[in-house]
Every structure is written in C-alpha cells, then in structure tokens.
Structure 1
Amino acid sequence: MCGRIANTLPRDAMAGLFDAKPANRLPEVPNYNICPTTDIAVVFGNETGRNLVSMRWGFLPHWYKAMNDGPLLINARAETIAEKPAFRAACRTRRCLIPVTGFYEWKKDAEGKRWPHYFSGEGPLALAGIWQDWQQEGEVTRSCAIVTTSANDTMAPVHHRMPVIISEADWPLWLGEAGHGAARLMGPAPEGVLLRRAVHPRVNSNRASGSELIEPFDAP
C-alpha cells in the first residue's frame, strides 16, 4: 500500500511541471508527512486542459452517506481496479496524477517492530491516481486514491506493494489525452526509478513534521 507521502514542490513549480492551471486554494507545501484524509495536490484534465487542484486523499464512492460510511479507500489495486464497483468508472474516465517528492513504507524486523523507509526519485514523482466527486447535502468533496501494484526489486525488501509511478512521457496517456491503453501503465516502476533510505521512526507519528523526517537514519 501507500499510506504516507511527502511533497516539497512549490505550487508554481508543480503547475509549470505539469503544464496545469493552478486552483486558487492548494495544500500548503512543503509537507514532509502527508497523511490520509488530508487534502493533497492533484493534476487532472478536462475540456479546458490540465488543472492542479486540491483533493481529499481517501476515495469516497457515491453511495457513501458519510465520509466514514465504509472503509478508508486511500489505495486502489491495479489488478482489480477495473472490477471493483467503487473504482471501475473512475479508472476509465477519471484518472489523475499525484505529484510527490517521495513516499514512506515500513519494514518489520524479527521482533515485529516497524522501521520506516523513504522512497524518492532523482526528481519529482507522478503517482497514478483516480478521483471522484462526492456530494452530500449540496456540498461536493473531490476525493482521490493512489493506484498501487506489485513491488519492484527496490521496493520488495520493504513491502510487497508500491504506488504506480507514471513517467512524464506517459502523462498524456494516463490523463486520457492520448487515447486508450492506460491499463498497460499500471505495472511496477522500472529499476533505477526509485531511491531508498531508512529514516527515523519519528515519522511514525502523524503529527511529526519537518525536513528531518527524510534524513537518512541507521536502522537496525
């Protein structure tokens, strides 16, 4: 799964990188400890072009009566996304990109203690996502989930799943700008895309903040 991300990209830089029109209200950056149910920056396309907007991280199916009416859907498995009632329409017509500078995953030691690791790239990463508008009492909440797939060799020693990472050349296809065939993009990232390092367990707290969260740490 992917349950914690970091984004240090300035809003103007994100808009320029994705050639997207930025919304007036976007999440504050930098944020080294972004947790589910908070708002994150997301790129999606429509008839006017690409847009950089804020969305709730935690996909809300249209049948939910309240935000906590069912499981917290922060991830969507690539292998079943086209079949799951919550995701199948979104994966066809409402795909998005989620800009991050990195994400965290935890590895258990022999005693069951979880040690965090930080995964990043040579530059910003674009994670595959899907989104949905959820309406309650006339108010609309735009929500999203990160698409995950099986781990590559870099990720596998820490966790068996990883987010789908979309290369810049494939952004148009994932966003639906370049026709059909986005399903082929939902595999593990090629080796060499990700860098991995152990980081301090202070990131285990969802209240932790600051750049020290991504500093290397000598885990046992």
Structure 2
Amino acid sequence: MCGRFAVTLPNDAMAQLFAARPANDLPAVPNYNVCPTNQVHVVRAGDGGRKLDALRWGFLPHWYKSETAGPLLINARAETLAEKPAFRAACRERRCLIVATGFYEWTKTEDGERLPWYIHRRDGAAIAFAGVWQDWGSDAARKGTCAIVTTAANKNLGSIHHRMPLILDPGDWALWLGEAGRGAATLMQPGPEDALVFHRVGRAVNSNRAKGPQLIEPDISV
C-alpha cells in the first residue's frame, strides 16, 4: 500500500515534465509528508491536453453522503480495480497520474514499534503513481478525489511490505491516461526490481504533523 509520500519538485517543473497545464490552486511544495485527505498533484488528460490539478487524496464514491460516510479509500488494488463498485467506472474512464518524489513504508519490531523507510527511484527521477479519480459532491461544493493504484510488491520491496504503489515509466503515461488507446490493464504489475531503492529514516515521520527535509534523510542511528 501507500499511506504517505513526499513531493519536492517545483510546480512549474512538474507541469513541464508531464507536458501539462498547471492549475492555479496547486499544493505548496516541497512537502515531505503528504498525508491522506491532503491535496495532491494529479495529471489528467482531456480534450484540451493534459492538466496538472489538485485533488483530495482519498477517493469518494458518488454514493457517499459525506466525506466520512465510509472507509477512507486512499489505495485501490490493481487486481480488483475493474470489479469493485467504488472503482470500476473510474478504472475505465478516469485514470490519472499522481506525482511524488518518494514514499514511505513501515516495518514493525517484535514489540510492535513502527520503523519508517523512505523509498525512491534509484535514478532520482520523479515518480508517477497510477491513480484513479472521482468528482464528488453537489455542484456548489464539488471536489475532485483520487486513490493510488497498488500491486503486489516486487521481490526488492517485499522485505518491507507485501504491497507497493503501481509506478509508471514515462513511456507508459499516455497509455494509462487513455491518450494511446486501450491496454492500460497490461501496465498493472510490479515494476522492475532495480528501479527503486530505500533506506531507514527517523521516527519523526510517524507523526502526520512532521515537516521538513530531514524526514527523508537516512537515520544515522540505525
């Protein structure tokens, strides 16, 4: 799964990287501790080309009467994406890219202590998570929401967690966004073993209120 991530790329650099028009209300960057229900950077395709938007991380199905009417859907399993009532329409019609620099995962000690790890691309490039989105609410208060698609972890990350976000290479962005026709289902599998690296970080990130670049620095006490 993916429950927290970091994004450090400037907004104009994100827009250039994804060849997308930036919205005026994009979240502030850098943010080393992006949490569920935060606004996140999302690339969507449309008739006028790609747009870089801000959406709520936490997918809200259309039948939710309030934002807390059901489970907080921050992740969507690739294996059941096309079948689950909450996601099946979005899987066909509303796919997106969610921009990150890296993400966090946790392991547990024998006494239950949570130990955080920071995971990022070996080459230092930005990460594009596969995502799905849904507009929710009445016309007067309509908001865009999204979830990150996850797969079984590859062997490399399996030592930390059994799930991982679906990460798309640049050559696959157009297919996931629907710009290159059908076939997005072929992308829903773990990425190459050597694409990501990880290191232990300090426990400060266990708090969703923690901020600052020190959150992604290696924990020298390990």
What TM-score, normalized to structure 1?
A: 0.98
Change (3 A) 1:73 1:23: same
Whether the aligned pair in 2 keeps the contact of 1:95 and 1:176 (CA below 8 Å) is yes
Q: Which residue of 2 aligns with 1:178?
A: 180
Runs of 4 or more above 4 Å deviation = none
Q: Which residue of 1 aligns with 2:162?
A: 160
Q: Find the partner of 2:152 among 145, 150, 175.
A: 150
Residue 91 of structure 2 aligns to which amino acid in structure 1?
Answer: C
Q: Which residue of 2 aligns with 1:104?
A: 104
Listed as ranges, the matches of 1:62-211 within 5 Å are 62-121=62-121, 122=123, 123-136=125-138, 138-211=140-213
Q: What is the CA–CA distance in structure 2 between the aligned matches of 1:63 and 1:108, rounded to whole Å? A: 36
- Secondary structure of 1:32 counterpart: strand
Aligned identity (percent) is 60
Q: What is the CA–CA distance in structure 2 between the aligned matches of 1:71 and 1:137, rounded to whole Å? A: 23
Q: What is the CA–CA distance in structure 1 between the aligned matches of 2:65 and 2:160, rounded to whole Å? A: 36
RMSD: 1.0
Unaligned runs of 5+ in 1: none
Whether the aligned pair in 2 keeps the contact of 1:198 and 1:219 (CA below 8 Å) is no
Residue 156 of structure 1 aligns to which amino acid in structure 2?
Answer: G
Residue 161 of structure 1 aligns to which amino acid in structure 2?
Answer: R
- CA offsets, 1:107-129, max 9 Å, x none? 01222211000000121110000
Shift of 1:136: 2.9
- Secondary structure of 1:212 counterpart: helix
Unaligned runs of 5+ in 2: none
Q: What is the CA–CA distance in structure 2 between the aligned matches of 1:44 and 1:182, rounded to whole Å? A: 15
Residue 185 of structure 1 aligns to which amino acid in structure 2?
Answer: L
- Secondary structure of 1:14 counterpart: helix
Q: What is the CA–CA distance in structure 2 between the aligned matches of 1:178 and 1:5, rounded to whole Å? A: 28
What TM-score, normalized to structure 2?
A: 0.97
